[in-house]
Chains A and B, each alone.
Chain A
């Protein structure tokens, strides 16, 4: 998957979770940039992405992702 395809998956997951189609994620987007993206939504987001892509993040990674770009990179590494 390309960076953009992964970004699309992430965007769609977050839009679904928050029921908000105005959300646009970029590689630089941080959690605090998106209204209502709180810690519970973050965990649900991780679960949703894991279910959709059939992957499992390492707990250490989930804790350390500081922006969307790092999540994309983490997923790329797992899908490789």
Chain B
């Protein structure tokens, strides 16, 4: 269960000491974050956690703070440092609160509990299957066994609801580890109330409940199947200290938790960038020629590379963008995708394709720019250790898995790293590949157009819009949490919070979908107006996000026209808006002046917000090339 995708830190001890003795908290945290990018074992994780604990900075630039509570029916203290270290790996400063042992019900239900005082943004339930299955006699019939388990899950469901209602926290439920021993042997699967069968059934029921409640799962049950239960559970530690998860499993456990927290905040990777020679196929096409490369069934190495291609296609089908970054002659590289009979991936599967002899770091930057996504959204897969080292050094925010020597295990390495951890699977994800393909056609059309005006007119755009409905919540939440560029305030909302905002009659929440002659771009913008507490008749632009896919199409103007009309209808006289600069949102630094807002800075704010105001009576909507359309 080593985190093999992370590179080994050659001089861990020295670097950790150096961090420990760094007096500036900001520098220390940077050094620790950089160390956390390495393969840390059991001991190293504890050590890093200890130095991090000493730092405990209130805030650090470029890091986000998250309050996470773990409510458990077993001891979890051995897991907490690893959660914080894995958070640091993703530039999250996770403050962890562990509920009192076995007190998860009381902590949730009692508004005066330590949990409520802590005010978690994320709440993780780590519950042992023991109490659920203890009362079920092995002779119980299937229905009887199910009833007891269903009651247990129903109680959990009520706790989740209560927690979301009172704490407004994102709820994560840990799946149940099967720590039971065989009773009948292989026949266990055929006995309704055999212990292992009960745990499996419990996991089924809790997954169904989580799906219907919008609760996320931390699937340690699955992880323990692949690592072996012995890697996750040590009966001795249970006897001694009621630890259901062994201390040795802490680094991976922490990483799995942090993946979900990061995914929920839009920090999962979005694009898989692949090298070609000895990565997507065996051999070097420039030397070996089309006939010489190794790919396809009937040859173990050829099948290994094919497996990676197949996995890339699966990722594409779930919304991950594919790209190529290879040192090759472009015509030769593209020809391989066109002409090799065993090639599963086709040229059209890649949203960006860079094959030349330039530096790979520079090429990756070009890929990110072309796709209009952040460099920190990229995973770069290359068999060549020198290229990997070069990219890690030049672009530390790009994830570069330490591929195993044997191509057979490429897929497992990439998959286990959890780069593309998801917290939803939306219609937009399903259509993303088609949308990127359509974008390529739009680019081509832009290139052929005489002017921007001609291009925009030729697109035949229309916008479908309306209030955020319950059916839109998962995509709207995803967009709000993922969008970093067109996001003036970078406020993040959980699905629970978004639901409350959408349901509020005092707020205006608008969703926008952009269509054009190449297709439907999907739900690509959300604008939330909330009443100003100080001034009646004034609304504040609390949140406005827009997908980078539709930049430069005048949608911001049409969206503002629509928002102004909606607000005027309610007798609103003016809008207030803030632009809070971040590393990522510079692209819209002049958004509000372009829309006709004027500076309205009050007292300086800690977040550095630049404040704007728009009198709706003065607002003259800009005529755009976007029609309004019914849905």
What is A's interface to B at a CB cutoff of 8 Å?
A: 13, 16-19, 39-40, 43-44, 47-48, 51, 57, 59, 62-63
**Chain A: minimal CB distance from B84 (Å):** 15
Give the residues in chain B near A63, CB-CB below 8 Å. Answer: 240
Kindly state the separation between the CA atoms of A44 and B251 in the bound complex, as whole angstroms: 13
Do B47 and A16 have beta carbons less than 8 Å apart?
yes
Do A17 and B240 have beta carbons less than 8 Å apart?
no
Give the residues in chain A near B42, CB-CB below 8 Å. Answer: 44, 47-48, 51
Do B43 and A17 have beta carbons less than 8 Å apart?
yes
Kindly state the separation between the CA atoms of A13 and B47 in the bound complex, as whole angstroms: 11
Of listed A17, A19, A39, residue having the most chain B CB within 10 A: A19
Of listed B16, B239, B240, residue having the most chain A CB within 10 A: B240
Give the residues in chain B near A17, CB-CB below 8 Å. Answer: 43, 46-47, 50
Binary interface encoding of chain B residues 226-246 relative to chain A, with 1 for a CB under 8 A from any of its CBs, else 0: 000000000011011101001
Known: A43-B78, A47-B248. A18 touches B241 (CB 8 A): no
Kindly state the separation between the CA atoms of A13 and B248 in the bound complex, as whole angstroms: 15
Q: For the complex, is B296 an interface residue (Cβ under 8 Å from A)? A: no
**Chain B: minimal CB distance from A15 (Å):** 10
**Chain B: minimal CB distance from A71 (Å):** 15
What is B's interface to A at a CB cutoff of 8 Å?
A: 16, 20, 42-43, 46-47, 50-51, 77-78, 236-237, 239-241, 243, 246-248
Kindly state the separation between the CA atoms of A17 and B560 in the bound complex, as whole angstroms: 56
Known: A19-B51, A44-B46. A59 touches B240 (CB 8 A): yes
Number of A-B contacts (CB under 8 A): 44
Kindly state the separation between the CA atoms of A17 and B240 in the bound complex, as whole angstroms: 19
The residue that B240 contacts in the complex, of A43, A48, A51, with Cβ under 8 A, is A43
B54, closest chain A residue (CB): A19
Kindly state the separation between the CA atoms of A43 and B243 in the bound complex, as whole angstroms: 10
Give the residues in chain B near A43, CB-CB below 8 Å. Answer: 78, 237, 240-241, 243, 247
Kindly state the separation between the CA atoms of A59 and B20 in the bound complex, as whole angstroms: 35
**Chain A: minimal CB distance from B572 (Å):** 56
For this complex, 25 residue pairs linking A to B, each with C-beta atoms less than 8 Å apart, are A13-B43, A16-B46, A17-B43, A17-B47, A19-B47, A19-B50, A19-B51, A40-B78, A40-B241, A43-B237, A43-B241, A43-B243, A43-B247, A47-B246, A47-B247, A48-B43, A51-B42, A51-B43, A51-B248, A57-B236, A59-B236, A59-B239, A59-B240, A62-B236, A62-B240
Kindly state the separation between the CA atoms of A62 and B236 in the bound complex, as whole angstroms: 10
Give the residues in chain A near B51, CB-CB below 8 Å. Answer: 19
Give the residues in chain A near B240, CB-CB below 8 Å. Answer: 43, 59, 62-63
The residue that A39 contacts in the complex, of B236, B239, B241, with Cβ under 8 A, is B241
Do B241 and A19 have beta carbons less than 8 Å apart?
no
Do B43 and A16 have beta carbons less than 8 Å apart?
yes
Give the residues in chain B near A19, CB-CB below 8 Å. Answer: 16, 20, 47, 50-51
Do B247 and A18 have beta carbons less than 8 Å apart?
no
Known: A17-B46, A51-B248. A44 touches B236 (CB 8 A): no
Kindly state the separation between the CA atoms of A56 and B236 in the bound complex, as whole angstroms: 10
B49, closest chain A residue (CB): A19
Give the residues in chain A near B236, CB-CB below 8 Å. Answer: 57, 59, 62
A51, closest chain B residue (CB): B42
Give the residues in chain B near A59, CB-CB below 8 Å. Answer: 236, 239-240
**Chain A: minimal CB distance from B120 (Å):** 22
Give the residues in chain B near A51, CB-CB below 8 Å. Answer: 42-43, 248
**Chain A: minimal CB distance from B190 (Å):** 34
Kindly state the separation between the CA atoms of A18 and B237 in the bound complex, as whole angstroms: 20
Do A40 and B77 have beta carbons less than 8 Å apart?
yes
The list of the 8 closest CB pairs from A to B, nearest first, reads: A59-B236, A19-B50, A47-B247, A40-B77, A48-B43, A59-B239, A44-B247, A16-B43
What 6 additional pairs, Cβ within 8 angstroms, besides A19-B47, A48-B42? Answer: A17-B50, A19-B20, A19-B51, A51-B42, A59-B239, A59-B240
Kindly state the separation between the CA atoms of A11 and B51 in the bound complex, as whole angstroms: 19
**Chain B: minimal CB distance from A10 (Å):** 13
B241, closest chain A residue (CB): A43
A20, closest chain B residue (CB): B50
Kindly state the separation between the CA atoms of A6 and B77 in the bound complex, as whole angstroms: 28
Kindly state the separation between the CA atoms of A4 and B50 in the bound complex, as whole angstroms: 28
Give the residues in chain A near B43, CB-CB below 8 Å. Answer: 13, 16-17, 48, 51
Kindly state the separation between the CA atoms of A47 and B41 in the bound complex, as whole angstroms: 12
Give the residues in chain A near B46, CB-CB below 8 Å. Answer: 16-17, 44
Give the residues in chain B near A13, CB-CB below 8 Å. Answer: 43
Give the residues in chain A near B246, CB-CB below 8 Å. Answer: 47
Give the residues in chain B near A18, CB-CB below 8 Å. Answer: 50
**Chain B: minimal CB distance from A5 (Å):** 19
Kindly state the separation between the CA atoms of A41 and B42 in the bound complex, as whole angstroms: 13
Give the residues in chain A near B20, CB-CB below 8 Å. Answer: 19
Give the residues in chain A near B239, CB-CB below 8 Å. Answer: 59
**Chain A: minimal CB distance from B241 (Å):** 6
Kindly state the separation between the CA atoms of A67 and B77 in the bound complex, as whole angstroms: 24
**Chain B: minimal CB distance from A3 (Å):** 23
Kindly state the separation between the CA atoms of A18 and B239 in the bound complex, as whole angstroms: 24
**Chain A: minimal CB distance from B341 (Å):** 49
Kindly state the separation between the CA atoms of A68 and B247 in the bound complex, as whole angstroms: 22
**Chain B: minimal CB distance from A1 (Å):** 19
Kindly state the separation between the CA atoms of A59 and B241 in the bound complex, as whole angstroms: 11
Do B78 and A44 have beta carbons less than 8 Å apart?
yes
